Amino acid sequence: MDLNYSPEEIAFRDEVRGWLAENVPADLRQKVLDYQELSKEDLVRWHKILAKKGWVAPAWPKEWGGTDWDATRRYIFEEEYALAGAPPIAPFGPTMVASVLLHFGTPEQKQRYLPDIYNGNVFWCQGYSEPGSGSDLASLKTRAERQGDHYVVNGQKIWTTLGHYGDWIFCLVRTDSSGKRQEGISFLLIDMNTPGITVRPLLLLDEAHEVNEVFFDNVKVPVENLVYEENKGWTVAKYLLGHERLNTGRIGGSKRELAKLKAMAAKTTVGGKPLLEDARFQDRLARVEIELMALEITNLRFLDEMRRTGDIGPEVSMLKIKGTEIQQALTELSMQVMGPMAQAFRPIAYDGFDDFGASMAARYFNFRKTSIYAGSNEIQRNIFSKMALGL
């Protein structure tokens, strides 16, 4: 197993690093580093810059605008992207619904939706979770009744991330209740401007408007917006969740946050000496850093497997579990560094470190979600134990 980059891969890394340094707008980079909210205009603006370069959807087939990069180059790109402080590309379009359309969509659906997704002309959101249907997603109750050439949708979705920005939403809906729960679910694409849709904000502990409730009241959806077969949406849902989990490790982002944490700890004094020299803090910091190094090596091992076989197994759940735990641990250590300055909901500037200007308490609260979304870590452990260990 070769975990080292080849000379060609190192040259590619340098190319990506240089382009990002020159092309990420300074104001957007600062928002990312300061943990400030990115508006829809911010996200779309950066999306279009990356699309013009041809790097907005590396995993897509080349015929639809993909890069034709192998798994290693995609990983290098994602790491350099995070280290550069580049704004995120909202995954709901390019990563999630696009992967579904490329795999399950008809030629007409691909032609209709993929170009607008690639170019950032349409902002997508996800309609999966419902009140009482989160980890047990197959218990969803939002119904879609076939009436001629339309479905009529009634129900509610919750925790819809960036739903207030959404132009379109992809939804799991129940089209049959007579058999097993998983067998009566369908996957629909719905225009958010359709009459009968109401979006209501949900403010989280950090007082940010990031997630929403979405209500459907007799919403008419054309039958041609059904992806794959009626009542076979559970197959689509599982495929999509696999793509979502591949992006939750965020190793590059954690490496960036670790470097910032060390810099802050070196500036913070406790008992007359830098916190970075405190033995207990050193222990906690070292443990997180070692786990992050191990996670990176594990990720490289998966990449080596993909280079050789073109596929990876259920072990990839480890990336989601450990990646999100490390992200949470870093926010906990940041709270310790900030001490009494970590006041919730108040922007601060501390000892010249303006990139830590956002509230550490607010960030800490927000990152409690990482071990829950894309399948809770408890669910991921079950998947790993059954499918990888055979327990």
Of the residues 91, 116, 132, the one at which a domain ends? 91
Helix, strand, coil percent values for the chain (each to nearest 5)? 55, 15, 30
Q: Do 168 and 211 fall into the same domain?
A: yes
Over pLDDT 90: what percentage of the chain?
Answer: 60
CATH number, domain of 266, equals 1.20.140.10
Q: Does 83 reside within a domain?
A: yes
> Last residue of a domain, which of 91, 111, 142?
91
Closest among 65, 153, 157 to 110, alpha carbons compared: 65
Who contacts 282 (Cβ-Cβ below 8 Å, separation ≥6)?
Answer: 276
> Within a domain: residue 224?
yes
Token representation of residue 60: 């897509």
pTM as predicted = 0.86
Which residues, 6 or more positions from 98, have their beta carbon under 8 angstroms from its beta carbon? 57, 60, 113, 114, 117, 118
Residue among 166, 199, 170 at smallest CA distance from 96: 170
Which of 72, 91, 110 lies at the terminal end of a domain, its last residue?
A: 91
Instruction: Answer whether residue 279 is part of any domain.
Output: yes
| C-alpha pair distances (Å), 49 with each of 17, 20, 25, 43, 87 | 16, 11, 10, 10, 11
Q: Maximum distance among all alpha carbons in the chain?
A: 76
Per-residue pLDDT of the chain (391 residues; tens, 9 = 90+): 455 789 999 999 999 999 999 999 999 999 888 888 899 999 999 999 999 999 999 989 999 999 988 878 888 898 899 999 999 999 999 999 999 999 999 999 999 999 999 999 999 999 999 998 877 888 999 999 999 999 999 999 999 999 999 999 999 999 999 988 899 999 999 999 999 999 999 988 777 899 999 999 999 999 999 999 999 999 999 888 765 555 667 888 899 999 999 998 999 888 889 999 999 999 999 999 999 999 988 877 776 666 666 555 667 778 888 999 999 999 999 988 887 776 655 444 444 444 444 467 778 888 888 888 767 888 778 877 876 677 6
Question: Are 221 and 270 found together in one domain?
Answer: no
In a domain, 171, yes or no: yes
The C-alpha atoms of residue 76 and residue 67 are separated, in whole angstroms, by: 13
Q: Is the distance from CB of 178 to CB of 237 less than 8 angstroms? A: no
Identify whether 244 is a catalytic site residue: yes
Catalytic residue among 80, 244, 257, 296: 244
Domain that holds residue 155: 124-230
Which one, of 156, 56, 66, lies nearest residue 102 by Cα?
66
As for how many domains the chain has, the answer is 3
**Residue 231, SS3?**
coil
DSSP three-state, residue 246? coil
